Every structure is written in C-alpha cells, then in structure tokens.
Amino acid sequence: MVLKNRKIENKLVINPSKILFVLNNISEYASKKMRSDIIPLLDFTLKEIINLMNAKVGNIRLYNTSAKKLLLVASYGTSKEYKKMKFSIETGESIAGHVFKTGKIYFAQDLKANHLYAFSEFSLKEKINSLVCIPLVTKDKKFGVLSIYYPKPKKFTNEEMEFFSILGSFLSNFIASQTMQYRLHKIYISIATTLINILEEKGSYHRGHSEKVKEIAIKIAEKMKLSRDKIQIISDFGILHDIGKVGIDPSILNKPDKLTREEWEIIKKHPINGMHIISPIEEYIKDISFIKSHHEQPNGNGYPERLKDSRIPILARIFSVADAFEAMIADRPYRKALSLEQAKNELVENIEKQFDRKVVKVVLNLIDSGELNEFI
Ligand SMILES: [Fe+2]
C-alpha cells in the first residue's frame, strides 16, 4: 500500500479502565434491555466501540441467508442519507465483503489508495479515510462484519492490530450469544402467543381479547408517560398476561353460571401459573411481574399476594384496568356487554377498591377523547 505525501496518524490511546467501562456498559445494556429485537443492542454496542476506539464512523453488517447478502443492521456516525440507503453488499464485494469471505481482519491505512475498496463516493461524502474491518465469526460460523472508520489515513501499530483482533473475537462471541438468546426468546414468545390464541379459540375469551388488552395497556402507559422500556415490555409481553389460564379446564373458564368455591380457587391460580410458564425467560426481563400481579387490588382484596396500593407494580395496575375494561365492553358467556357509560361507571365505582385511581382517570380521558374508539 503506497502512501504519498499524506499525513498518517498512528496514535491511539487505549485506556484499560475505559475498555472495562465500555464492556461493562455493553453487558449491562444487554442484561437490562432484553427485547424481541437485537438491533437496539447492536446500535448501542457500535456507538460504545466507536467512541472507545476514537473512531468516527462504524457499521455492522450481518449476513442474511435468504438474501445471500451482507445487510447493514447498525450504523453510527454516518449521514442520514447513508442510514436511509441501508445498502447491502455481496460477499466478496469491497473490503467488508472480502473480510466476510476470508474471515480475516483487514486494516486499510488509506481508503483512497486501496484497490479492494469499492465505495469511494461513501468515503468522500462521510469524510473517512482509513478502516479496520473485523469479521464477526465464531467457531461454527461467519455471520457478519464490523467496520470501524477513521477520518484520516492511519498507520495501525502492531499493538492496535492485536487489540482489534481481540476486540473482534470478543464482539463476535458476544453478538452471537445475544442473537441466540433473542432468537430463543422470540421462539418462546411465539409459542406462548400460540397458546394464548388456543385459549381464545377454546372460548374462554372472545377472539383478540389478549391483544386488545395489550393495546389498551400501551395507550394507558403512553398517556401516563411511562418510560420507553416499560412500554416496550407491555408491547413484547402484554399479550401473555393471562397465559396461566392455558392449563385450566375450559368448562370452568367458560362456565355461564356462578363458579363454585373450588372452581374460583383454580381460576385464582392463573397468575402464579403464568409466572411458571414464563420462568424460562423471566431472568432476562425486568417488570414481567405484571403477569403475577394483574389481579391485585388497591384495597388488598386481590390475588395472589393481596398486595395493596403502590405495592402493586404499575404495569399490573394498568393491566388490571385494561383487562377489566376490555372484558366489560364485550359479551361474556354469562352476560351481555356493558354500554360504554355503564363501563365507565363501573370503573369509577371501583376506584381504590379494585382499580388504581390514576389509571382509571387516564382510561376515562382516553375514552372521552376517542383514543380508545378502535377497541370499542
Ligand atoms: Fe387474568
């Protein structure tokens, strides 16, 4: 690689405590933000790595087996136009494609003088001149490429090359294990969602009840300005709030007459059963306790733990109202649907007995402003 009259930078201070700090940030993010989508974690990881390495721009491309291409899944420091383009590249194409094909890390000191590099327009536009391209590869398979760009031509020292190799190996294993967890998590959720659909098919609720309760709970949470994380939890897992009912005999769930004491005791077990069903993924998810606590009541007469007022988690308080409201305005085996006015009165009458005051207030506002019309 010939470099003529161009200023070459070769300094990169890698502070050990900064490295540990960044790795800790990434693993904390991964443990806190378990979701059905891995992209936010890749975005976060990329941003942390680019800043750690004093670089300017970074991309993560993952190999898509059906498209047979490397797709851009995370990009940091690039322009909006570039992010929008989301262009994919072939294996073997340009430096990233070459690195994916060979499975070997590649250092390009000066992109303008590099014969493999095929996107000089991109480097001009994004004002980048050198690149470290790291294969994302585990013992079993190659699955992507991480590119780290610097604004100026740069001579990489042996120490830096070694560091990037170790970093690449760490990130490969980290991303691969996280991706596996997300996939398992997705599979688990889809199985659980199928169980919910079967439950609804069995007639214990009208079709779509669980989905509607989830959507109403999202509207309430948004209105209450809950954090994005909490809203995401509702969005990902809200449909499972009654998953514990899958083991209950449909003749009890659908009984048009008054339940016997024994039958009622069986019904009351569904929040705990739900937690058992969800337990394989519970350790990854914060705030999933709404499944256990969505039948608690502010007056302490709920179940299973007879929690009171603010000891009931906020998501559980929201689900309690959303679930009851959705059930009120639908036909049930033992009664016809209530009118909207009757449902509103029922909610108000049970404030601080069965329902949280703030949540009911928000629901009444949502009804009056027409924001729940699609569910009524
Ligand atoms: Fe329930």
CA 269 to centroid of ligand 1, rounded, Å: 10
pLDDT higher than threshold 70 for residue 93 = yes
Cα R_g (the chain), whole angstroms: 27
CA 199 to centroid of ligand 1, rounded, Å: 12
Q: Tell me the average pLDDT across 56-72.
A: 93
CA 294 to centroid of ligand 1, rounded, Å: 6
SS3 label, residue 63: strand
CA 150 to centroid of ligand 1, rounded, Å: 54
CA 320 to centroid of ligand 1, rounded, Å: 8
C-alpha 151 chain-centroid distance: 33
Please, which residues have CB less than 5 A from ligand 1, an ion? 242
Q: Tell me the average pLDDT across 250-277.
A: 90
CA 270 to centroid of ligand 1, rounded, Å: 7
Q: 202-375 adopts what CATH topology?
A: Hypothetical protein af1432 (1.10.3210)
pLDDT in tens, 7-47: 545 555 567 788 888 888 888 888 765 556 788 889 999 99
pTM value is 0.66
CA 370 to centroid of ligand 1, rounded, Å: 26
Q: Which residue has the tokens 């569904």?
A: 270
Query: Which pLDDT does position 32 carry in this prediction?
Result: 67
CA 318 to centroid of ligand 1, rounded, Å: 12
Least confident of 15-24, 80-89, 256-265, 367-376: 80-89
pLDDT in tens, 289-347: 899 999 999 999 999 999 999 999 999 999 999 999 999 998 876 678 899 999 999 99
CA 141 to centroid of ligand 1, rounded, Å: 43
For residues 61 and 71, the answer to whether their CB atoms sit within 8 Å is yes
CA 241 to centroid of ligand 1, rounded, Å: 6
User: H-type helices in the chain, by residue range?
Assistant: 16-32, 39-52, 80-85, 94-102, 120-125, 158-201, 209-223, 228-237, 250-253, 261-267, 270-282, 290-293, 314-328, 340-349, 357-368
The answer as to CATH 3.30.450.40 being correct for domain 16-181 is yes
Query: Which pLDDT does position 324 carry in this prediction?
Result: 95
How far apart, in whole angstroms, are the C-alpha atoms of residue 65 and residue 138? 16
How far apart, in whole angstroms, are the C-alpha atoms of residue 9 and residue 154? 5
CA 324 to centroid of ligand 1, rounded, Å: 9
What pLDDT band is residue 3 in, cutting at 50, 70 and 90? very low
Percent with pLDDT over 90 in the chain:
48
CA 328 to centroid of ligand 1, rounded, Å: 14
What pLDDT band is residue 232 in, cutting at 50, 70 and 90? confident
CA 36 to centroid of ligand 1, rounded, Å: 23
Q: Tell me the average pLDDT across 49-77.
A: 92
Query: Which pLDDT does position 159 carry in this prediction?
Result: 84
Could you tell me the residue ranges of all domains in the chain?
Answer: 16-181, 202-375
CA 366 to centroid of ligand 1, rounded, Å: 22
Cα angle, residue 212 at apex, residues 211 and 216 outer, rounded to 5°:
120
